[in-house]
Structure 1
C-alpha cells in the first residue's frame, strides 16, 4: 500500500511540475525578450529591400469561401493592391449556390465546385488542382481577412532567404466590441509566445489556419485523414519535421476578423478545443521525432503542441492550489505565486505587443471570456458532426484598417 501511495505521490508531483512549466513559460519568455531588447535592437524586414537580381516567387493566394461570399470583395481588393506582381488569386466558392462574383482582372480566378466540399482542406486541394500556372508557393486565407499592401513583397524576401514555409503576422481587423478586444488580446499573447519569441530563439513558429505561406510542393506532401476543423494542427506537425525551420514574418501583416459576441466565441472555441484533442497524437509524434533526431527545435515544438488551452491550464492551477491545502501548504503558496506571475505576464505581453488602451482595459473582463471557453469545452462533440463555421460580417476594406 505504501508503495502505491508513493507512486501516486510521484505522479501527482510530476503532473504539477508539467502544468507549472507550461504556466510559467510566458514569464520566462518575457524575461528573455526584455534582456534581448536591452542588449540588441530588432532588425525588421522592410519592403523593397530585396537584393538586385533576387528571385520573384510566384504566389497562389487561395481564398476558401463557404456558403457566403459577402466578405470576399474586400479581401480581393486588398490583394489586388499588393506592391508585387507575380501572383494569382483563387476564390473557391464552396456551397455558395446562389452567389457568384465576376472579375475581369487576369489575376483573379473564380472557382465554383459542382459538389459541395464542406471542408477547408478540400477547398484548398480544389484550388491547387485548378491552378492556371505553376506557383512556387501558396498562401491560405479565410474570407474575412485583409492583407497589407507590402504583404507579398515581404514574403518574397523570406522565401529568398531559403525558407520553405512562413507564418505571417495576424492582426485584428476589428476591435469595436469587448469580445473582439479580448479575442485580440489572446492573439497577441499567442503571437508573442508561439511566434515572435520562437523567431527570437531561432525556433520554428506555430502556424494559424490562415496567412500561412508555403512551397506548393511542400503542401502536396501532406496527407489528410480528418477534414472537419484543425487542419493547421496537421500541417504544422507534418511540415516542421520536413524543413529546418518554420519561419515567422512579423512584418507581413494579415488582418483577421475578431469574434464580437459570446455565442460566436463558443462556436469557434468548440471547434478549436475539439481539434486540440483530435490532433493530440501529433504532438507526441513531433516530440518523439525530436528525441530520435536530437533536435531541440522539434522537442520544443512537440512539447508546446501538447500544451493544453490556457483556460484549462489556469483551471488546473487553481485546482492544484485548492487540493494542496490538504497536502502541502508550500505547494499552495507556489501555485498562488505561479497564477499571479502568469496573469501579470499576460497583461505585460499584451501591452508590449500592442499599446492600445482599449485592449488592455478589456483584460479585466477575462473571466467572462474564460467562462465561454468552459461552455465550449462541454460542447466539443458537436465539432465532430458539423463544420461549425464562425459567422463573420465586418465588411471593411484595407484602407479602413490602415487609416484608423
Structure 2
C-alpha cells in the first residue's frame, strides 16, 4: 500500500513539475534562438496584395448589446484587404436600434434567442450572402488592426487551413485589466509564439481564430454553454498538419476591469476546462497512436490545469514532502520561485505598456478571485455567464498607444 501511494505521489510530482517548469525551458529556447538568429521570420505586409480571390467572412457574435459593435465594424471597414463581408449576429438585442446600410455589413437578428456563441456562428454561416473561403470569429468588444486580413491572406496563401491571430489588450486602465492582460501575454508566449518557433500547433483563443469555412463545418457540437475554444481546437488539430499562429495579425480584446467580472469570466473558463477535459486525452491518445509529437504535446497541454491550481498543488506537495524528504520540500519551493520568476520575465518581454509588468505585484488578489471562481463552477452549467464589457474605443485610440507589439 505504501509503495503504491509513493508511486502515485511521484507521478503527480513529475506532472506538476513538468507544467510549472515548462515556461522556463521555453524561455531558454527562446533566448538561444534569438542569440543564434534562428527565430522564424515575420510575415511582411508592405508587399501584400490588397485584393485577392480569397473571400473572408468576419463573424461578430453579439449578445444582449450592440454598444461595442460600431467600433469593431469600423476597424474592419478600414482593412487594407478588400475581399470580405462582415456578419453581425445580434442575439437577444431586440431593443437595440442599430442599423447598417453598407454593402460589406450584414446585420442579422435571429427570430429566437440563441444564447450561445456556437449557435450565433452557425446562424451567420447559414446566412452567408456569398460563398466564403475563410471565416474569422470576433467577439463584439474586439478591434482589428488595419493589416489584419491582409496578413491572414498571406498565411492562407502559404497553405495553412487554420490560423490563430495575436490577441492584444484593448484597455489597460485598471489594475484588473492589466493583470488580465499579463495573463494573455504569458499565454501568447508559451502556447502560441513558442509553438510557432518550434514548428508546433498553436492553442487558440475563442476569438481571432480564422479557418477555412469547410473545416469549421466539419466540427459537431454537443454542448453550447462555454468551452467553444476547447472543443474547436481539439477537433481541428487532428484534421490538419499545423494550427498556425500569426503574431503579425493583431486583434484587440477588452480586458476585465473589476474583480466581480473576473470571477464570472473565470468561472466560465474553469467549468469549460473540466467539461472538455476528455478532449485533451483524446488528442494525446491520437498523437501517441499516430506517432505525432505535435499532437501529443498539444494534448498534454490541453490537460494542463489552470495555473493557480498548479501553484496550489506545488505548495501542497511541498507540505507533504516535509514528512518525507526536506530536500524535495525545498525543491518544490524552488519550483514555485522559478515559475513566478519566469512568468515575470515573460510578461516583461512581451509587454507594450510598463504598467502591465508592475501590476504583477498584485497577483495574489487575482489568484484569490480565481479561487472564488472555482467554487462557483456549477453556475456555469446553468447560465451563459456573459462577461460585461463597456469600453467604447476605436482602433485609432488603441494604435496611438501600441502601433505594433513586439514579438
Deviation at 1:42, TM superposition (A): 4.5
Runs of 4+ deviating beyond 2 Å: 48-52
Q: Return the alpha-carbon distance in structure 1 between the equivalents of residues 40 and 225 of structure 2.
A: 39
Alignment of 1:4-403 (within 5 A): 4-40=1-37, 41-50=39-48, 55-403=52-400
Cα shift readout 1:142-198 (whole Å, capped 9, x = no counterpart): 000000000000000000000000000000000000000000000000000000000
Is the 1:257–1:392 Cα contact (8 Å) retained in structure 2? Answer: yes
Is the 2:52–2:83 Cα contact (8 Å) retained in structure 1? Answer: no
Q: Return the alpha-carbon distance in structure 2 between the equivalents of residues 99 and 345 of structure 1.
A: 46
Is the 2:287–2:294 Cα contact (8 Å) retained in structure 1? Answer: yes
Gaps of 5+ in 2: 402-407
Deviation at 1:349, TM superposition (A): 0.3
Q: Return the alpha-carbon distance in structure 2 between the equivalents of residues 305 and 319 of structure 1.
A: 23
Q: Return the alpha-carbon distance in structure 1 between the equivalents of residues 364 and 118 of structure 2.
A: 34
Q: Would you say how many aligned residue pairs link Structure 1 and Structure 2? A: 400
Q: Return the alpha-carbon distance in structure 2 between the equivalents of residues 98 and 352 of structure 1.
A: 45
| SS of match in other structure, 1:168 | strand
Is the 1:142–1:210 Cα contact (8 Å) retained in structure 2? Answer: yes
Stretch moving more, 304-313 or 316-325: 316-325
Q: Return the alpha-carbon distance in structure 2 between the equivalents of residues 98 and 236 of structure 1.
A: 35
Deviation at 1:103, TM superposition (A): 1.6
Deviation at 1:97, TM superposition (A): 1.1
Q: Return the alpha-carbon distance in structure 2 between the equivalents of residues 51 and 78 of structure 1.
A: 19
Is the 1:48–1:153 Cα contact (8 Å) retained in structure 2? Answer: no
| RMSD over aligned Cα atoms | 1.1
Is the 1:267–1:376 Cα contact (8 Å) retained in structure 2? Answer: yes
Deviation at 1:355, TM superposition (A): 4.5
Deviation at 1:49, TM superposition (A): 2.7
Cα shift readout 1:190-214 (whole Å, capped 9, x = no counterpart): 0000000000000000000000000
Gaps of 5+ in 1: none
**TM-score, with structure 2 as normaliser:** 0.97
Q: Return the alpha-carbon distance in structure 2 between the equivalents of residues 103 and 68 of structure 1.
A: 15
